[in-house]
Amino acid sequence: MGPSFWQLMIVLAIVLLLFGTKRLRNLGGDLGGAIKGFKKAMGDEEKTAAEEKSKVEQQKPENVIDVTPEKKKDQV
């Protein structure tokens, strides 16, 4: 079974004594900023990939030569 409520409170108190509230607050802010930056970078990359895909699909060659042989009406 997992730790009880009181055991978690004791561990929290020890962590607060070791690191202090200011350092933990800064650590939490830095961790939150890193996660936010990571999510933003992932979203930007997906957006860029989608834009590139749509650009490739929209591009049409200007000078296309049809090289398929034509059947003459006489040969049919």
The encoded tokens of residue 11 equal 């561990």
Per-residue pLDDT tens for 25-61? 898 899 999 999 999 888 888 888 788 877 776 765 6
CB distance 15 to 24 below 8 Å: yes
Polymer length in residues for the chain: 76
Burial 26-45 (b: 16+ CB within 10 A, else e): eeeeeeeeeeeeeeeeeeee
- CA–CA distance, 52 with 45 (Å, rounded to integer): 11
Per-residue pLDDT tens for 3-23? 899 999 999 899 889 888 888
